[in-house]
Structure 1
Amino acid sequence: MPNYNRWIRGFSIYLVPGLVFQSVIVGGGYGTGREITEFFLVHGVLGGFFGMLISCLVWGAVLAVAFEFARITKSYNYKSFFQALLGRFWWLFEVIYLLIALLVLAVLGSAAGEIISQLLDVPAVIGVLTLMLFVGILTFFGSKLIERVFVGWSALLFLTYIALFASTFTNFNDEIIGHFNAATITGAWAVDGVRYAAYNLNALAAVLFIVPRFVKTQHAVGAGLLAGVVAIVPGIFVFLTLLANYPGVLTAPVPVTQVLSALNLVWLLVLFQVMLFGTFIETGTGVIHAINERVAGTFQTNRKAFPQWLRAAIALSFLFIATFLANKIGIISLIASGYGLLSYAYIAVVILPLLTVGLARILLHRRRQEQLATNSLNN
């Protein structure tokens, strides 16, 4: 029993944060393959693969620093986190985060409508309303239910992507291997790897509620490094799967469904669509839960209770506005233009401050702790 409890605790500390982070970023463009083509496959097969490894390294390094910084400053929502990191300029993150939240939710609403319309032959609005319903329910009940759903759905996600890749490789192994043998590398693949990692760090705001479980540096750093790996693995399966129909997938609104159509496996198509719709719910929930936690922090500062109904109301308001944007602009334009621009803002406001000011604060804190320990021993 003690060993079992230790395993459960280790899973909770080291892997759950990565699964939550992955759950927030996987919906929309990642899960559909649209972001994978936009940021990676456009640089050729090897260029795209190397770019994904760059994203993994950036996520791991930044999240390791971010988790430890949040731990020592006791910052469990994005407002308190960026107040500690940026001081009076913390609001810069909030502006960027709210913009990208609307952007992500717009992509989710557009993709959810398309999936439900294709799967059930019903109007796209049914998919959007279903997304709103489940996001509203999860945000209403809060952190504990969200964590459990995220971890459970991540297991299904991994199994589905493994099945998808295995089926694709069985049928199109010559094409996939042939593309790798061609060894194509074009464009600024490393830059796009950093840019992709940067704007996806909006998910950091959604993972901060996990931080209280870290009681020492080893926990925070270990969880951060593993989170980068956990988050990129499903993306690599998607990347390899898309090679079956490369370069045709580069212009497809939902590239993965193009590959699924070529496979002609009804059971896998249905399983994937259900899994993908679940990731939309996860991503939408994570993005909005971070906003709810920030609002809850303000209520707590003012010594007021955060009404439970307001959690769902905030979620539905953001989803409604985002859906309007999606209908006006379109999914490909949203990902190509909006995400690209906001990625540079995340580099300036999140990555650079964390790897300079944040890291310096961590080292200073560690030095002070060592001095206190030395003084205690001397006394």
Structure 2
Amino acid sequence: MNKTHWFRIYVLPGLVFQSLVIGGGYATGRELVEFFLSLGPRQGLMAMLVTAVVWSLVTAASFEFARSTGSLDYRSFFKNLLGPFWVVFEMAYFVLMLLVLAVIAAASGAMLHQTFGIWPPAGTLLLMGSIGILTFFGSNVIENFMSGWSFLLYAVYATFLFWGLYEFSDGISAAFDTAHPDGNWAVAGVKYAGYNLAVIPAVLFCLRHTERRSQALISGGIAGLLAIVPGIFFYVVLVGFYPEILQDPIPVSTVLAAFGATWFGLVFQIVIFGTFVETGTGLLHAINERVERNLVELGRVMPRSARPAVALGALTLAIVLGNQLGLIKLIANGYGVLTWVFIATFVIPVLAWALKNLLIRNTVNPGDKGTR
């Protein structure tokens, strides 16, 4: 096995998963504060470790389920997993997609306006154009972009951590040493994991390189770690600003301003914008894969030009509904319900399947091409 093939099997799915989680979740630091730091520095870190474990378990089980059933688009995946109830997940996924797309579109416009003085709608259009180009060229180009950008992201987050430890070590140490009442950190970790696991359907397209059970399980385990490490880097620096940072709507802006280095702020914002592009592309590519599978079953072929059309149509719908109908606020108010829907329709069923088919000795999987 050459290095490129090894990378596509074991590392690429995790990098795609990580890209979707960061752009759709903790890129601004708000979710890290909301779900973790609000529990107290130590309890929040424990909750993040719970999230990592849940992510690794569910991604490993999901990757093996997708491989063994040949379900590389989310419609096939959930029809095989849930039977006639697969539409429940699709409705929840569609709601999540609209929310995330509306948020990253608004955040892109605001971020580029704040950083470069660009007219906010121009930033949103730049995001739309980037997503349209990537979805037009399809899976291979999307894989290459996501993996390459992820390495840049890791480098920036590592710099963020080491610089933050150098500048704010006293505040970080003091916050971690302060006693806090025990919060429900285990539940918080599971809830955050459950919500973000809903992006796994957007990762399925890159599992076409996976051929064996061991490959699926190892790559799934790696995925959970790849997704949480940048978050831990970010979290540790945020701890240095505790408890004032709890009320900050965009914590990353406060931290970057404290660094006092304009150039690093620019680099960080550019990397985050690229992560928004990754997130939108991944979510919309999953829709394209779902549509293409439908057309194949009908004996038809999806034109390449239809891919950016579908993607940009969905993105435009998300922006319009989010701005005009207050959809973002509506869905945000139902956030807890959405989380438990994903846990009930995805996390529990796929883990139950794993217990039945992977953890019971001598179970034979007819779709397995090899267990080593």
Partner Cα separation in structure 1 for residue 31 and residue 215 of structure 2: 31
Find the counterpart in structure 2 of residue 18 from structure 1. 14
How many Å separate the matches in 2 of 1:44 and 1:12?
A: 38
In the TM superposition, residue 113 of structure 1 has moved relative to its aligned partner by 1.4
Residues 48 and 185, structure 1, Cα contact 8 Å, conserved in 2: no
Q: Is the deviation greater in 340-349 or in 224-233?
A: 340-349
Q: 1:7 Cα deviation (Å)?
A: 3.1
8 Å Cα contact 1:72/1:362 also seen in 2: no
Percent identical among aligned pairs is: 44
List per-residue Cα deviations over 1:291-320 (Å, max 9, x = no partner): 110001001111111122221112112222
> TM-score, with normalisation over the residues of structure 1?
0.91
For residue 276 of structure 2, what is the aligned residue in structure 1? 280
CA change 1:129–1:186 in 2 (3 A) is: farther
1:246 to 1:334, Cα distance in 2 relative to 1, 3 A: farther
Q: Any gaps of 5 or more consecutive residues in structure 1?
A: 374-379
Q: State the Cα distance separating 1:28 from its structure 2 match.
A: 4.0
Does the 8 A contact of 1:292 with 1:311 survive in 2?
Answer: yes
Q: CA deviation at 1:6?
A: 3.3
Partners in 2 of 1:232 and 1:137 — Cα distance? 29
Distance 1:323 1:273 in 2: 21
Residues 83-122 of structure 1 show CA distances to partners (whole Å, capped at 9, x for unaligned) of 1110111111110110000111111112111110101112
Q: Is the 8 A contact 1:113 1:128 kept in 2?
A: yes
Per-residue CA deviation, residues 31-58 of structure 1 (Å, 9 max, x unaligned), is: 1111111111111101110111011000
Choose which of 338, 344, 352 in structure 2 pairs with 1:342: 338
Match of 1:33 in 2: 29
Aligned to 2:245: 249
Aligned position for 2:218: 222
Q: Deviations over 1:228-252 (max 9, x none)?
A: 0001001111111212322222222
Q: Deviations over 1:160-188 (max 9, x none)?
A: 01111222221111111111111435432
Deviation at 1:337, TM superposition (A): 3.1
For structure 1, which segment, 184-193 or 143-152, has the greater mean C-alpha deviation from structure 2 after superposition? 184-193
Q: Sort the Cα spacing of 1:95 and 1:105 in 2 relative to 1 into closer, same or farther, 3 A.
A: same
In the TM superposition, what are the counterparts of 1:1-379 in structure 2 within 5 Å? 6-327=2-323, 337-362=333-358, 367-368=363-364
Tell me, in whole angstroms, the C-alpha distance in 1 between the residues paired with 2:332 and 2:244: 17
Cα displacement (A) at 1:322: 2.1
For normalisation by structure 2, the TM-score amounts to: 0.93
CA-atom RMSD, angstroms? 2.3
Q: Is the 8 A contact 1:64 1:223 kept in 2?
A: yes
User: Could you say which structure has the higher helix fraction?
Assistant: 1
Moved more, 117-126 or 139-148: 117-126
